[in-house]
Amino acid sequence: MLSDTLVIHEIYASIQGESTFAGMPCTFVRTVGCDLRCVWCDTPQAFHGGTRLTRGEVLERALSFGTPLVELTGGEPLLQPGVLPLMRELCDAGRTVLLETGGHRDVSGVDPRVHKIVDLKAPGSGEVERNRLENLRYLTLRDELKFVLADRADYDWMRGIIATHALAAFGMTLLASPAFGLLDPRALVEWVLQDKLPVRVNLQLHKYVWGADAEGV
Ligand code: SF4
């Protein structure tokens, strides 16, 4: 079956770099392949190649690091059908499971125990047309919506989306991340304070620890 194997770029332990889990030890399962091309993408090395492993092998390696937290990331994890049962199995094994997804793939089949970190692509990404806004109805308070912002126009777009979809009233965590090297975090903080916007300014922690070339999470 297609879901019995996965093509994997890397499985490794690090600290979680983006989201409300930032700073916590985490095992990352980075899948291969993405059907977007965000202009500021920091993991193009995960677009191609990789190693095909059975789902059992991926599960065993992911559990072997012993971290309570395991994140599926990419590339785009939801391109591979084996990711859905793998996340179920990781939850069954007692792990707290995070899914980092580009927001353009259907998240309705994701195990409800998984914490979904879903991007909404701002215009500066070059992929704003690919946003799947239907995903919003499948998000719960367990999940987080992430906006990576390259400039003031992206910030204004985010503000409009939050207002149009009443996202603040829903109470879900909204992450606003300056695209590394493109938007000064201080400018973002000033805009958020001026507007009293209920977002969590989110820095890519791994970049500050390992430098600008560190892979995204
Ligand atoms: S969705 Fe993620 S992996 Fe895909 S191009 Fe955008 S930033 Fe890169």
Distance from Cα 195 to the centre of ligand 1, integer Å: 29
Tokens of 47: 């677009």
Tally Cβ neighbours within 10 Å of residue 195: 13
Distance from Cα 127 to the centre of ligand 1, integer Å: 10
Tokens of 62: 């992911």
Maximum Cα–Cα distance across the chain: 53
Residue nearest to atom 7 of ligand 1 (CA): 41
Distance from Cα 9 to the centre of ligand 1, integer Å: 14
Res. 161: pLDDT tops 80: yes
Average pLDDT of the residues in 192-197: 97
Tell me the domain boundaries of the chain. Answer: 2-210
DSSP secondary structure code for residue 195 in this structure: H
- Helix residue ranges, H only, the chain: 55-64, 83-92, 152-164, 167-170, 185-195, 205-210
Distance from Cα 202 to the centre of ligand 1, integer Å: 17
Q: Give pLDDT tens digits for 17-72.
A: 889 999 999 999 999 999 999 999 989 999 999 999 999 999 999 999 999 999 99
Residue nearest to atom 6 of ligand 1 (CA): 38
Enumerate residues lining ligand 1, CB below 6 A. Answer: 34, 36-38, 41, 43, 74-76, 102
Res. 217: pLDDT tops 60: no
Q: What is d(CA 145, CA 199) in angstroms, rounded to the nearest whole number?
A: 10
Instruction: Identify the sign of the CA torsion 111, 114, 115, 120.
Output: negative
Arch. (CATH architecture) of 2-210 = Alpha-Beta Barrel (3.20)
| Contact (Cβ atoms closer than 8 angstroms) between residue 214 and residue 206 | yes
Average pLDDT, the chain: 95
Q: Give pLDDT tens digits for 116-155.
A: 999 999 999 999 999 999 999 999 999 999 999 999 999 9
